[in-house]
Amino acid sequence: MKAAVLIGPGRIEIVDDWPEPVCGPRDVVVRMDGVGLCGSDLAVFHGRRLPPETPWALGHEGFGRVAAVGSDVRDRSVGQRVVIEPNYACLKCADCLTGLTSACPHRVIVGLNAPGVLAERVAVPAHFAHPVPDGATGADLAATEPYTVARAAVRRSGVTAADRCLVVGAGAQGLLVCLILSRLGIQPVVTEPHPQRLARAEQLGAVPDDGRTGFTYVFETSGHAPALHPAVVRAAPGATVVLIGLNSDRLPFTTDDVVRRQLVIRGSMIYDHPGDFCTSIAELSQARPGAVIEARFPLHEAQEAFTDAAERAGKTWISIHDAEGNGHA
């Protein structure tokens, strides 16, 4: 079986002897059509985040068709088109039982602490392989998982159509937040130094930063520590600051800043199973998250796809079996 595997920092090899997946009684085997690339994948690729071992199968934003069904599975069938929810919560711990599966301490994270899905076939717990409409495009399915991350952040924020929103960063998450806010009737202001990313955000309904203040919501998507404090300064009293991007720096403000201005600081980590994924899939035909995709590559060009992904204005995906994926976007 073919797979794209990391053999060292910045080095991907296409192998044809990767082990076939084993379909457990509660699993399905998915014949993969495509996989989107994410910042966490790039961190592993560039060696900023070490995999458990090498060679290591990369990728987690995957979709395809069910090729085999485990003996205990009753609600999935061979040939069904599915998108993978690549964070397998245990569904038994205290956090899972309260519905906050995103905080599950036992979470299996595909591509990070478990092998990724850039292979011809993978085994997936059946409940984490969500059926999708046959009419959904490969680009929309490659962007479904990051769309769900962005949508969960917007859901958790409590934002309404009457709010004034600043989006910090127009990488994949920033673009998707702009798309979602625009669908809610909000014209977000976006701050982004990369001109092509800024232009893409404008295409999705955002307007470029003009220095205004008084935002009732600030969505920090970049994970770039120096960008946070200037954005928070521009928030209105009582505003909500939603942190989506990750970095390890200390927050650049004091409790005095937060209390006196009565700010709400809200972290948003991935999404919660199964509601967030199910809602995103139900919205695919209207939301069209594939609008944030810039390029696609066939599996044998995975090295090129990863090498330049961070420089592209939009997301990248790799096709495996999908006929849509022959060549570049």
List CB contacts of 73: < 8 A, sequence separation 6 or more: 25, 26, 27, 28, 126
The per-residue pLDDT string of the chain (329 residues; one tens digit each, 9 = 90 and over) reads: 999 999 999 999 999 999 999 999 999 999 999 999 999 999 999 999 999 999 999 999 999 999 999 999 999 999 999 999 999 999 999 999 999 999 999 999 999 999 999 999 999 999 999 999 888 999 999 999 999 999 999 999 999 999 999 999 999 999 999 999 999 999 999 999 999 999 999 999 999 999 999 999 999 999 999 999 999 999 999 999 999 999 999 999 999 999 999 999 999 999 999 999 999 999 999 999 999 999 999 999 999 999 999 999 999 999 998 545 433 34
147-267, CATH topology level:
Rossmann fold (3.40.50)
CA distance 300 to 319: 9
Residue 325 confidence (pLDDT): 41
DSSP alpha helices (H): ranges in the chain? 39-45, 94-97, 138-142, 144-157, 172-183, 195-203, 228-233, 255-261, 275-282, 284-287, 302-307
Nearest partner of 213 among 230, 199, 227, judged by Cα: 230
Domain boundaries of the chain, sorted by first residue: 3-146+271-325, 147-267
Q: According to the model, what pLDDT value does residue 135 have? A: 86
Note the residue count of the chain. Answer: 329
Which pTM was predicted? 0.96
Q: β-strands 235-243, 215-220: how paired? A: parallel
In the prediction, which pLDDT does 322 show?
57
Q: What is the CATH number of domain 3-146+271-325?
A: 3.90.180.10
**Residue 327, pLDDT score:** 35
Tell me what pLDDT residue 134 has.
83
Tokens read off for 188: 């977000």
Amino acid 329: pLDDT = 40
